[in-house]
Amino acid sequence: MRRGWKMALSGGLRCCRRVLSWVPVLVIVLVVLWSYYAYVFELCLVTVLSPAEKVVYLILYHAIFVFFTWTYWKSIFTLPQQPNQKFHLSYTDKERYENEERPEVQKQMLVDMAKKLPVYTRTGSGAVRFCDRCHLIKPDRCHHCSVCAMCVLKMDHHCPWVNNCIGFSNYKFFLQFLAYSVLYCLYIATTVFSYFIKYWRGELPSVRSKFHVLFLLFVACMFFVSLVILFGYHCWLVSRNKTTLEAFCTPVFTNGPEKNGFNLGFIKNIQQVFGDKKKFWLIPIGSSPGDGHSFPMRSRNESQDPLLANEEPWEDNEDDNRGKQGSSMLL
C-alpha cells in the first residue's frame, strides 16, 4: 500500500515537472505574439502613415518572422538523437556486468566491449565512458541529460527556453534560431526607433499605440543584448568545433586530454554543423554530416596531412602559455 502511494506521488511530481517545463516556452510565445501585434497593428497599421513605408516594413518583418518562428519550432520539436542499439549492452553482457562485484573486472569488461565500437574518448581517469542509467557505452561527445533522462548524441546543453536538449539533431536549428532572433530584435529596434523619438518629442498624438511602440523598443533592445552575447558565444564554439560541455570540461582521449581534439580548422568546423552545401546553411533543414555517433578528430587528420600538425588553432598556444605562466606564478 505504501509503495503504491510512493509510486503515485512520484508519477504526480513527474507530471507537474513536465507541465512546468513548458512555462519558459509559453513566456517566449506570449512575448512573440504580443510583439507581432504591437509591430503589425499598432506600429505599421496605426502609427505609420506612409503606405509605401507600411508595405516595406510589413514585407521585411514577415520574412524575418517566418524564419524566426520556423527555427524556434524546429529547436523545440526536433527530438534529441540517442545512441543506436550497438552501443547498448546486450542482455547477457548487462547481467555479467551487474553481477560482477570487482570494479577492475567491470572496467576491463567495458574495455573489451569498447574495442568493437568507434569510441576514442575516455573519462578523466582513463576509463571507458559508460552510462549506468541507460546501460550503454557512450559514443564520443555523447552525454546523459538528467532532465530528459536519456543519453544525447553530441550533447551541447539542455535549454529551458525551448524545453529540449540541444545536441546533434537540432544544434544547427538552435544556432539559426539565435541568429534569426538577433535579426528579429535588431529589425524591430531600428524601424521603431524613429517613431519612439517622435512620441518622445510629442510630435505624434498620445494614443494607445504610444505604449506599445515605446515598450516594443525597450523589449527588443533588452532581448537583443542578451541574445547577441549568447549567439556570439556559440559562434565561437562552432569556430573551434566545441560543445558547451567540452568548453567547460576538456575531452579526454585514449592518449590523454586534448581541448582541440575535434578542431579541424575554421571552414571544416562550420561544415561539421551546417554541412557542405552552403544553400542549406540559412534554412532549418537537417544537413549536419554523419550520424552523430563518431566524428573526425584532429589527430587523425594530422596523420593524413602532416601540415595540420603545425597549424596553430587560432590563439590556443598563446592561451596555453598564459595558463602556464599563471600557474607558475601561483606555485
> Angle 7-12-14 (CA atoms, 0-180°, nearest 5)?
95
Residue 143 in 3-state DSSP?
A: strand
H and E: helices and strands count for the chain: 11, 9
Cell (9 digits) for 57: 516594413
Burial class of 177 by CB neighbour count within 10 A (0 to 12, 13 to 18, 19+): buried
- Secondary structure (H, E, C), 23-78: HHHHHHHHHHHHHHHHHHHHHHHHHCCCHHHHHHHHHHHHHHHHHHHHHHHHHHHC
What is the C-alpha separation between 194 and 73, in angstroms, rounded? 32
131 is catalytic: no
16-19-21-23 Cα dihedral, nearest 10 degrees: -120
159, 165, 185, 235: which is the annotated catalytic residue?
159
Catalytic residue numbers? Answer: 159
